[in-house]
Chains A and B, each alone.
Chain A
Amino acid sequence: MIIAATLAIFVVMSMAIIRAIAGPTLYDRILAVNMFGTKTVLLISLLGFVMGRPEFLDIAIVYALINFISVIGVLRYSDSAIFKHNGEDIE
Chain B
Amino acid sequence: MDFLLNISSSLCLLIGSFLCISGGVGILRFPDFYSRMHAVGVTETLATTMILIGLMLQNPDALVVLKLILILLLTLFISPTASHALAKAAIQNNLRPKLDKRDNNEQVTSSNR
Contact A8 B20 (CB under 8 A): yes
Contact A15 B27 (CB under 8 A): yes
Contact B55 A38 (CB under 8 A): no
Contact B27 A35 (CB under 8 A): yes
Interface membership of chain A positions 18-30, coded 1 if the CB is closer than 8 angstroms to chain B and 0 otherwise? 1100000101101
The secondary-structure label for the interface of chain A is helix
Among B10, B25, B28, B89, the one with the most A-chain Cβ atoms within 10 Å of its Cβ is B89
Please pick, from A11, A31, A35, A64, the residue contacting B21 in the complex, using a CB distance under 8 A. Answer: A11
Residues of B41-59 at the interface with A, using a CB-CB cut-off of 8 Å, are: 43-44, 48, 51-52, 54-55, 58-59
Give Cα distance in the complex from A84 to B92, angstroms: 9
Q: Given the known inter-chain contacts A8-B21, A19-B27, please indicate yes or no for A41 contacting B71, CB distance below 8 A.
A: yes
Residues of A14-58 at the interface with B, using a CB-CB cut-off of 8 Å, are: 15-16, 18-19, 25, 27-28, 30-32, 34-35, 38-39, 41-42, 45-46, 49, 54, 57-58
- CB-CB < 8 A to B90: which residues of A? 27, 87
Contact B78 A54 (CB under 8 A): no
Contact B36 A28 (CB under 8 A): yes
Task: Tell yes or no: A90 within 8 A of B by CB.
Answer: no
Please pick, from A9, A19, A25, A60, the residue contacting B20 in the complex, using a CB distance under 8 A. Answer: A9
**Which A-chain residue is minimally distant from B81 (CB atoms)?**
A68
Please pick, from A4, A12, A57, the residue contacting B68 in the complex, using a CB distance under 8 A. Answer: A57
Contact B48 A2 (CB under 8 A): no
A-binding residues in B (CB < 8 A): 9-10, 13-14, 16-18, 20-21, 23-25, 27-28, 33, 36-37, 40, 43-44, 48, 51-52, 54-55, 58-59, 61, 64, 67-68, 70-71, 74-75, 78-79, 81-83, 85-86, 89-90, 92-95
